[in-house]
């Protein structure tokens, strides 16, 4: 198998193409990564900046340079002994603006379309107006208003010979069955040629056997338009123009006959009858579980793998699929079938496959999936929690409760967010799952009186309390792991439901794979209806978890934002060293080739933002005092959001229960804003530079708008409160205005200076841990230097690879300590660790993981472990929780060696008497006669060390 030593994630789009990546391939090779890890490469929506809105699975995106440019990049990478991993999107496609041929096909022909079974559409909606139709919630206002305003029109495309309904950039093809009536809407005496064309369409039906005849008629129509132009068709369009009552009614009747139903976008949550990606109305789920769909989606990556162009796949949003287990196993089988076709120099190598999967604490990725692991959110959670001091939890929890006016835990915030999302965003998905169970209930006399409403009520509570993303039943029955999670959901639902609903809860429990089917023979497999019901429930809980937790509760609960990260649970404040070791040992045992990451294209805050904010857990009382002081200082700058504000209210006051104060941004949002300013403040930002501060404020304002809308409290994406948003933005720009240079700005810069060195130590520690822990380290583009990015689009800004290349040197990182703020010290740590992985790949990919005991006065401030393969060792040592150890007189991120006192680590016995050298500095520490290595001798030049023996690059 081609196991990557390390990967570097690149975000491709028309501004950064394959050829742009090719221009920097020498830098990537010199840095030491073994594989480039590319965002989706299939054809996406024009102008897409991420590639997750695929419109054509069969072709490499021409905006990226197409397949020729991909081949150039692949050849250049392979020439430097590097490979390519690509991100694929098997769950959904982009459907906006008429670019997706598959989607246009079902809009045109309905459930008889060639691609009707490719999308997860409920053609049997309980709403008679939607039966056999696709709900199209794209209108900016109610249908009748938009029609009367003339914004819905009929158009004719001469190049395609087709009529379509148009709304803004959206196109909806008219079914050719209606062409005779369309063409005859003009008197034959005026345009007899249209009557002749209409005759070609007479008698057409939507049945597939008429499709060839329909195409011939369309070809004739296109040929006529090519010869005579569009003038003859203008009369048809005029007959359906929306600017007059009679023609508008004619247009309305035409639209009502189509296989789509145009609707106001606000109706989507309640009425959409096709599965979306989360609640995004421009991304439609595809039925990858069907073999013909699977083959169509994967033909390109399978061919590229067989040709040796790519070496592995990253599977996006695997939890959206009907059966992730079956999907992963099928994909592995298909890849294995193509191994023999690989070029001889690749030696029939097996593909590297990882999945994007959020794992809760204690949740295990099923080994039987046949994949190499996840994309690393679990490690990002572990290492992030490791940086936090548990001693600060109580004070920060109390402070957050005081300023937010609520003592709710993060779990409470999550439950409330789940209820809101189910009611307002995923109502139609919940309805569909409830209907599936209602049909099952109607089949038995004992359950026939369980109403749809009662079943929906029960499902709501189960989904609210479901502790992980989803369950993975086998043949319709819950696994042991599923059962443990479902029991937890049942307990929550039982407490929240009225006693009268408990019988329905028991029925739902059994029907979702928890018991034998009533009336079925012993040992009989569950019916198709029960298997479908379990799938529908899983496809509710997965998007619910993402939307309610990551995209809602994370923006409401702000005890310490460094824990509000994808894959993390903010309710888990800190992780001890022993627990971190245990997680690494578990990964080494079960998925030694899983990715380990600390930054991604989806992160909420850059890895160095989180590392700096973690320092606040060490100085909780000082931070709380600072928070209150800033609140008082900036209180006069607050704006009323819609009505006069209570005078003088500040975060130092204890808010009374009830409605939030009517000023923007409000106490909780203001507290999170201060954390964001502290965390994202770049090392080189001068608070006296008005232009630089303004540019910084614009970045923060973009985050602030997204954060407030995601929180869905004062404003939201669906119902923006422009007054609140404007007032919040004005507050931000006021507190960062040049006239605050000697006030808040100076205070802010001074506090960042107070914690920045400890934050840098955290950053270097998490960087080294990622590069040396079990798994395949993933490097997100540009994070070789300090990463103070925020949520997208901020974390997808252009990267200056030329600067990175110029700054890549072979000297030890310790030589960059004096100018550590420019980030070269971090680049050096990355480079040295990746170089060691290249020199000794088996040591890190196959080697064992050995936690090392830290002893002495400062033991809680360090972490150490060994990697061993055969007779080779690497010793990893890092500083943690450094704020209390930092000398005020120093300007570098380094604990005074004397401060370590007697703190030491116990080396493996096999290293007794063997000379060790630090890859990161000139240090060559020696253990004493008992095998103890004192940190005062190791951490003299950097806060981290990577000790090895001879034969590897060192100072």
For 913-949, write each residue's pLDDT tens digit: 889 999 999 989 988 888 899 999 999 999 999 999 8
Question: Counting Cβ atoms within 10 Å, is residue 334 exposed (0-12), middle (13-18) or buried (19+)?
Answer: middle
Encode pLDDT of 405-436 as tens digits.
889 999 999 999 999 999 999 999 999 999 99
With CA atoms as reference, report the closest residue to 383 among 600, 577, 549, 571. 577
Asked if pLDDT for residue 372 goes beyond 70, the answer is yes
Hey, what are 858's tokens? 């400062």
Q: For residue 508, what is the enclosing H or E element?
A: helix 502-509
Within 757-861, strands assigned E span 776-780, 848-851, 854-855
pTM for the whole structure:
0.94
Sign of torsion over alpha carbons 126, 175, 209, 119: negative
Encode pLDDT of 645-680 as tens digits.
333 344 544 333 344 568 999 999 999 999 999 999
CA distance 94 to 930: 64
Q: Are 456 and 434 in contact (CB under 8 A)?
A: yes
Question: What is the DSSP pairing of strand 83-88 with strand 35-38?
Answer: parallel
Domains of the chain: 7-91+288-375 (3.20.20.80), 96-280 (3.30.1590.10), 395-559 (no CATH), 631-752 (no CATH), 800-948 (no CATH)
- Alpha helices by DSSP H, 163-284: 179-183, 192-201, 211-228, 231-239, 245-256, 268-271
DSSP string, 558-602: -S-GGG--TT--TT-----HHHHHHHHHHHHHH-TT-EE-S--TT
Whether cis (ω within 30° of 0) applies to the bond prior to 76 is no
pLDDT at 230: 87
Burial 440-467 (b: 16+ CB within 10 A, else e): bbeeeeebeebebebbbbbbbbbbbbbb
What mean pLDDT is predicted for residues 249-266? 97
Q: How far is CA 327 from CA 331, 366, 806, in A?
A: 6, 13, 44
pLDDT at 680: 98
With CA atoms as reference, report the closest residue to 505 among 514, 496, 494. 494
CB neighbour list of residue 936: distance below 8 Å, 6 or more residues apart? 897, 898, 900, 901, 903
Asked if pLDDT for residue 834 goes beyond 50, the answer is yes
What mean pLDDT is predicted for residues 161-166? 96
With CA atoms as reference, report the closest residue to 530 among 623, 444, 651, 401. 444
Hey, what are 84's tokens? 């390519």
Question: What is the DSSP pairing of strand 917-918 with strand 854-855?
Answer: unpaired
Binned at pLDDT 50, 70 and 90, residue 228 comes out as confident
With CA atoms as reference, report the closest residue to 8 among 883, 948, 781. 781
Q: Are 836 and 31 in contact (CB under 8 A)?
A: no
CA distance 941 to 920: 9
pLDDT at 527: 87
Q: How far is CA 530 from CA 117, 475, 515, in A?
A: 21, 10, 11
Asked if pLDDT for residue 46 goes beyond 80, the answer is yes
pLDDT at 951: 53
Encode pLDDT of 435-485 as tens digits.
999 999 999 999 999 999 999 999 999 999 999 999 999 988 999 999 999
CA distance 235 to 190: 9
pLDDT at 914: 87
The rounded radius of gyration (Å) of the Cα atoms in the chain is 30
In sequence order, the β-bridge partners of residue 121 are 274
Q: Are 265 and 140 in contact (CB under 8 A)?
A: yes
pLDDT at 522: 64
CA distance 650 to 403: 9
Q: Are 448 and 415 in contact (CB under 8 A)?
A: no
Q: How far is CA 597 from CA 112, 375, 600, 607, in A?
A: 45, 7, 7, 10
What mean pLDDT is predicted for residues 67-94? 98
């Amino acid at each position: 198998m081609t196991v990557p030593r390390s990967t570097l994630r690149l975000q491709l789009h028309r501004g950064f193409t394959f050829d742009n990546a090719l221009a920097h391939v020498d830098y990537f090779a010199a840095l030491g990564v073994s594989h480039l890890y590319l965002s989706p490469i299939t054809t996406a929506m024009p102008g897409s900046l991420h590639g997750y809105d695929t419109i054509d699975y069969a072709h490499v995106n021409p905006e990226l340079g197409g397949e020729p440019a991909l081949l150039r990049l692949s050849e250049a990478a392979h020439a430097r002994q590097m490979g390519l991993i690509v991100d694929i999107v098997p769950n959904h496609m982009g459907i906006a603006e008429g670019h997706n041929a598959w989607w246009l096909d079902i809009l045109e022909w309905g459930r008889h379309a060639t691609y009707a079974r490719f999308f997860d559409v409920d053609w049997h909606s309980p709403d008679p107006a939607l039966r056999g139709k696709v709900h199209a919630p794209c209108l900016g206002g109610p249908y009748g208003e938009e029609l009367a305003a003339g914004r819905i029109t009929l158009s004719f495309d001469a190049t395609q010979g087709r009529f379509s309904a148009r709304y803004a950039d959206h196109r909806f093809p008219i079914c050719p069955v209606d062409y005779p009536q369309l063409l005859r809407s003009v008197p034959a005496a005026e345009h007899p040629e249209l009557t002749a064309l209409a005759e070609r369409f007479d008698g057409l039906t939507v049945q597939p056997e008429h499709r060839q005849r329909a195409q011939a008629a369309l070809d004739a129509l296109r040929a006529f338009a090519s010869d005579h132009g569009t003038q003859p068709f203008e009369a048809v369009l005029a007959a359906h123009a929306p600017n007059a009552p009679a023609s508008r009614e004619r247009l309305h009747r035409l639209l009502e006959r189509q296989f789509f139903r145009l609707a106001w976008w606000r109706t989507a949550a309640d009425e959409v009858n096709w599965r979306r990606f989360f609640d995004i109305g421009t991304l439609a789920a595809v039925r990858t579980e069907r073999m013909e769909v699977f083959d169509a989606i994967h033909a390109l990556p399978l061919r590229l793998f067989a040709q040796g162009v790519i070496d592995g796949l990253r599977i996006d949003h695997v939890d959206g699929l009907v059966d992730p287990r079956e999907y992963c196993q099928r994909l592995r089988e298909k890849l294995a079938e193509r191994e023999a076709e690989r070029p001889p120099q690749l030696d029939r190598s097996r593909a590297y496959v990882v999945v994007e999967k959020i794992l809760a604490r204690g949740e295990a990725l099923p080994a039987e999936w046949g994949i190499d692991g996840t994309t690393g959110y679990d490690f990002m959670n572990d290492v992030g929690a490791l940086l936090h001091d548990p001693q600060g939890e109580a004070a920060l929890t109390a402070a957050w409760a005081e300023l937010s006016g609520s003592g709710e835990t993060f779990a409470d915030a999550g439950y409330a967010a789940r209820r809101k999302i189910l009611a307002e965003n995923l109502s139609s998905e919940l309805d569909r799952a409830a209907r599936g169970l209602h049909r099952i209930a109607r089949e038995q006399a004992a359950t026939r009186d369980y109403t749809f409403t009662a079943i929906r009520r029960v499902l709501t509570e189960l989904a609210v309390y479901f502790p992980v993303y989803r369950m993975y039943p086998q043949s319709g029955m819950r696994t042991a792991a599923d059962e443990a999670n479902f029991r937890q959901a049942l307990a929550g639902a039982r407490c929240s439901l009225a006693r009268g609903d408990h019988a329905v809860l028991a029925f739902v429990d059994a029907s979702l794979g928890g018991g034998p089917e009533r009336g079925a023979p012993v040992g009989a497999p569950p019916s198709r209806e029960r298997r479908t019901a379990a799938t529908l429930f899983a496809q509710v809980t997965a998007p619910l978890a993402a939307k309610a937790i990551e995209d809602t509760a994370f923006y409401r609960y702000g005890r310490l934002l460094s824990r509000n990260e994808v894959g993390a649970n903010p309710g888990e404040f800190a992780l001890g060293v022993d627990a971190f070791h245990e997680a690494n040992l578990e990964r080494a045992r079960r998925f030694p080739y899983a990715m380990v990451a600390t930054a991604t294209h989806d992160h909420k805050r850059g890895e160095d933002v989180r590392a700096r904010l973690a320092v606040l857990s060490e100085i909780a009382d000082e931070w709380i005092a600072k928070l209150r002081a800033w609140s008082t200082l900036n209180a006069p700058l607050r704006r009323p959001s819609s009505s006069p504000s209570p005078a003088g209210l500040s975060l130092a006051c204890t808010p009374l229960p009830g409605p939030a104060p009517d000023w923007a941004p409000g106490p909780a949002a203001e507290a999170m804003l201060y954390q964001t300013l502290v965390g994202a403040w770049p090392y080189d930002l001068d608070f006296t530079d008005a232009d630089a501060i303004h540019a910084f404020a614009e970045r923060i304002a973009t985050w602030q708008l997204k954060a407030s809308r995601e929180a869905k409290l004062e404003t939201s994406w669906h119902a923006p409160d422009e007054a609140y948003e404007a007032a919040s933005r004005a507050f931000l720009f006021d507190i960062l205005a040049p006239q605050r240079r000697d006030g808040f700005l100076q205070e802010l810069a001074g506090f960042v200076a107070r914690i920045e060195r400890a934050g840098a130590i955290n950053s270097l520690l998490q960087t080294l841990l990622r590069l040396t822990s079990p798994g395949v380290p993933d490097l997100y583009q540009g994070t070789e230097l300090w990463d103070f990015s925020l949520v997208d689009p901020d974390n997808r800004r252009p990267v200056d690879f030329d600067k990175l290349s110029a700054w890549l040197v072979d000297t030890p990182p310790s030589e960059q300590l004096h100018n550590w703020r420019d980030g070269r010290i971090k680049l050096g740590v990355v480079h040295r660790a990746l170089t060691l992985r290249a020199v000794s790949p088996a040591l890190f990919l196959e080697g064992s993981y050995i936690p090392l005991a830290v002893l002495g006065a400062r033991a809680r401030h360090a972490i150490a472990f060994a990697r061993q393969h055969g007779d080779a060792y690497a010793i990893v040592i890092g500083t943690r929780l450094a704020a209390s150890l930092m000398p005020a007189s120093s300007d570098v991120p380094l604990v005074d060696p004397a401060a370590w006192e007697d703190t030491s680590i116990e080396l493996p016995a096999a290293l007794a008497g063997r000379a060790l050298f630090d890859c990161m500095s000139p240090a060559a520490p020696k253990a004493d006669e008992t095998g103890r290595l004192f940190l005062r001798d190791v951490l003299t030049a950097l806060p981290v060390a990577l000790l090895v023996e001879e034969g590897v690059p060192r100072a």
